[in-house]
Amino acid sequence: MMSKDRLRIKVIDYGAGNLRSILNACHYLGYKAEIAKVPSHLHDADRIILPGVGNFGKAMKELEKFKAVIKEKVSEGVAFLGICLGIQVILEESEEAPNVKGLGLVKGRCLRFPSNLKVPHMGWNTIDISNPDCPLLKGIKSKSYFYFVHSYYPRVEDESIIVAKTNYGVNFPSIISDENLFATQFHPEKSGKLGLKILKNFLEYKH
């Protein structure tokens, strides 16, 4: 595994992500992360993190310029982690922004929680792990609590990539994993020690 000081961690800045919390979490774990403001900043990345807060449509407007290089780096095997809105924009589309195309790294779409539920789904909730062998889940048990803030949830076509689900009126994927592509609907950087463990597992991931 590459040493901490040589690992090039890039956090994509599209004007809405919770960048400071991610940078601080990486620093706490002993890693230096850098902000990627333009696509060329990702060319030498060993790890890519796409944090997310906000609206699917507005995010994709800013992410469009990153789309090609993200797809290129993921296809090359660079480890990628989408967080919160980051798990949603890697899909093809969302009810939040009709006619806006997502990054399309995963087949599927985002749906709004049913109207009988209070939205956003905000606060601590548990995960039910279906694939404990996922590299992100080393040292993490089912029923562990993580911090969520979202009004839409992902639905993916290939259910084999769902490694954990969470229930909030409906069951939805809270962690997906497809080889070097990872994403969480919750915020690991706001989820205490277990969230930091998820982030550490991602940074230590090796093929």
Active-site residue, from 26, 84, 110, 134: 84
Active-site residue, from 41, 121, 150, 187: 187
pLDDT at 56: 96
Domains annotated on the chain, with CATH: 4-203 (3.40.50.880)
Predicted TM-score of the model (pTM): 0.96
pLDDT at 17: 62
Residue 48 in contact with residue 70, Cβ under 8 Å?
yes
pLDDT at 2: 61
Consecutive 10-residue averages of pLDDT for the chain (207 residues): 81 83 95 96 97 91 96 98 96 97 98 97 98 97 98 97 98 98 97 98 92
Q: What are the tokens at 116?
A: 């009988």
Active site residue 187: yes
**Three-state SS across the chain?**
CCCHHHCCEEEECCCCCCHHHHHHHHHHCCCCEEEECCHHHHCCCCEEEECCCCCHHHHHHHHHHHHHHHHHHHHCCCEEEEECHHHHHCCCEECCCCCCCCCCCCCEEEEECCCCCCCCEEEEEECEECCCCCHHHCCCCCCCEEEEEECEEEEECCHHHEEEEEEECEEEEEEEEECCEEEECCCHHHCHHHHHHHHHHHHCCCC
Q: How far is CA 175 from CA 20, 39, 40, 156, in A?
A: 22, 26, 28, 11
Active site residue 41: no
Active site residue 179: no
